[in-house]
Structure 1
Amino acid sequence: MKKILITGASGMVGKKLYSALKERGYTAHCVVRKKQNIFENEFVWDYENDYLEEGALEGIHSIIHLTGATIAKRWTTAYKKEIISSRVDSALFLEKKVKEKNIKLQSFISASGINYYGDWNDEKAATENDEPQKKDFLTEVCRLWEDSANRFEAISERIVKLRISPVISAHGGFLEPLKKLSNLHLASPVGSGKQYFPWIHVDDLVGMLLFALENENMNGSFNACADEVPTNAQLMKTLAKSMDKNYIPMAVPGVILKLTMGEMSEMILNGVNASNQKIKSKSFIFKYNALDDALKNVIN
């Protein structure tokens, strides 16, 4: 029976991944800040103070690294450092501990973000070979995140970095505040409304993580997004329709978001048009490629 170490297991994606791994017969070691008693094999870690509970890495053949402080919180200078350190320093800590145990991993699978590409609103979708354009804070986060994953090259046969888009789920994720607006018949675009908004259904993301784990031809960076990449206006209109609510075509001016959210408004006002052809070329099959179908699934 293969053992997998998961970071970020208590998050929205991590919990579903944990259940999926169990169903497939894997043993999952979940590292947690403090004992939660929700996973069979919990191990306490504190990467800031160089602590990993004994046994966490015993028999481990792969690591799935999902941990990271939420970006949906005001970006003060201190919190921006936490966004980076929770992703990067935690990975460097794992690298150190794996080396100390002389473990050779079969795979190290790390989350990254579709924001790697910066503000990419071209009609030509960004591919994994493209360099970022119009860089912003999240671009730098993703670059550092992936650099920390690349450090596993000497101790892992494969490294997979999934550039994850905003995740559509019935519980949690970016949809929660948008559904509240739609319930009040206040669904409307923001900024120009023309900025692209890539997305992925949580079931497809979990499936992609399992696919990366089990397929030896998976190596390098992959965009984790569905076929359909709507604009912000199309997203809000489709959401309102899915909830049988009114859609207001008048856009909320971007300046209002900048005043109320500060630099954090970048993740709403900037867009990314991304291609998923690379992951599809590896024979990964999506369950949800149309936004309407994905929204109906989680709303109904």
Structure 2
Amino acid sequence: MKILITGGTGLVGTKLVKELRKRGHTVNVLVRKKSNKPNEFYWNYNRRQLDSEALEGVESIIHLAGASIGKKWTYEYKQELISSRVDSANFLYDHCTLADIKLKSFISASGVNYYGTFISDDILNEEAGIVKHDFLSDLCLKWESAALHFGNIADRTVILRTAPVLSEKGGTMEKLNMITNLNLSSAIGKGSQWFNWIHLDDLVDMYVQAVENPKFEGVFNAVADEIPTNKEFMKSLAKSRSKLFLPVNVPSFLLRMVFGEMSVVILEGTRVRNKKIKSLGFDFKYPELKQALKSFVKA
């Protein structure tokens, strides 16, 4: 199958491109800088520019593009968070419709923050709506709405509401390792907030199956089985790194001082379940946190 990927040079995209090509798929990657590499095509959704050859023969699009959530949210950066996800998808849709392109599937990332960012013991699955409206839930709603437009030109639309991704090469682990690299670790804020997560290998496998398995359709929570509290997570992370875990939590106000509004991602959290994707028989390689953290420890 011929697949077009946005965000193909990021943490998830880089590994996904390699895996899809290994499985025999032809993968075109949209890039923000002009490139002479084979199967890399320039685009700039802000300037409405796209190499027309990028879409030739494409049967599936995977939309991973999006500015990092993990930076301070100024007003300008909030607009970039929205534009990089929503405007980019709308731009692709316009090009596909103008070229009369029909797709087998359109697969988009989203976030578990769709449900809202707050502390609760409630367990949320795909059938739950937005519980608390905030910036991230509104961002995810706009993101998913843009993806659903592709239902007009694609046989299937798939949305993966993704938890923070664990990888030894960056993402969530990169920031958390900054704490444990100081030879100590502690819970953050109250410590009772739930920490949803998914291993990079499992997330990549989800995208592969979303492309290849016609039963994948609609919204799925891309999150592991075991959901620890922040305190449990940080304690397990410290143990996996042979670091000291301190019983004193990092105060919430320090996080707010450093990260501003973005700190809500770290200080709040409810439990999200993967009910729907497991009903399709998806087999997690890393369903439990201990297994996932162990995979990052060099022998």
Range of TM-score over shorter length: over 0.9
Write the distance in 1 (CA, Å) between the matches of 2:8 and 2:249.
Answer: 37
User: In the aligned structure 2, how far is the partner of 1:291 from the partner of 1:131?
Assistant: 27
Counterpart of 1:52 (choices 50, 53, 62) is 50
**In the alignment, does 2:291 pair up with 1:282?**
no
TM-aligned CA deviation for residue 36 of structure 1: 4.7
Q: 1:61 aligns with which of 53, 59, 70?
A: 59
Which residue in 2 is equivalent to 1:241?
239
The amino acid of 2:255's aligned partner reads L
Q: Is 1:34 equivalent to 2:33 in the alignment? A: yes
1:10 and 2:24 correspond: no
Q: Indicate the residue corresponding to 1:22 in structure 2.
A: 21
Q: Deviations over 1:35-57 (max 9, x none)?
A: 355x6300000111111112100
Name the CA distance, whole Å, in 1 between partners of 2:295 and 2:38: 29
- The reply on whether 1:292 has 2:290 as its aligned counterpart is yes
Q: Distance in 2 between matches of 1:19 and 1:223?
A: 23
Which consecutive unaligned segments of at least 5 residues does structure 1 have? none
Q: Residue type matched to 1:175 in 2?
A: M
In structure 2, what residue type is equivalent to 1:42? E
Structure 1 Cα separation of the partners of residues 253 and 121 of structure 2: 25
Given candidates 221, 224, 228, the residue that maps to 1:223 is 221
Amino acid at match of 1:224: A
Moved more, 265-274 or 235-244: 265-274
Q: Is the 8 A contact 2:122 2:270 kept in 1?
A: no
The reply on whether 1:178 has 2:176 as its aligned counterpart is: yes
Asked if structure 1 preserves the Cα contact closer than 8 Å seen for 2:117 and 2:265, the reply is: no
Q: Which runs of 5+ in 2 are unaligned?
A: none
Aligned residues: 298
Residue 41 of structure 1 aligns with an amino acid whose one-letter code is N
Is the 1:165–1:199 Cα contact (8 Å) retained in structure 2? yes
User: Does the CA contact (< 8 Å) of 2:150 and 2:157 recur in 1?
Assistant: yes
Report SS of the residue matched to 1:147: helix
Kindly report which structure 2 residues correspond to 1:99-118, keeping only aligned pairs within 5 A, or say none: 99-118=97-116
SS of residue in 1 equivalent to 2:54 = coil
Amino acid at match of 1:18: V
Distance between the aligned counterparts of 2:89 and 2:212, measured in 1? 21
Deviation at 1:272, TM superposition (A): 2.6
Q: State the identity %.
A: 50
SS of the aligned residue for 1:55 comes to: helix
Partner of 1:91: 89
Question: RMSD in angstroms over aligned alpha carbons?
Answer: 1.1
TM superposition score normalised by structure 1: 0.97
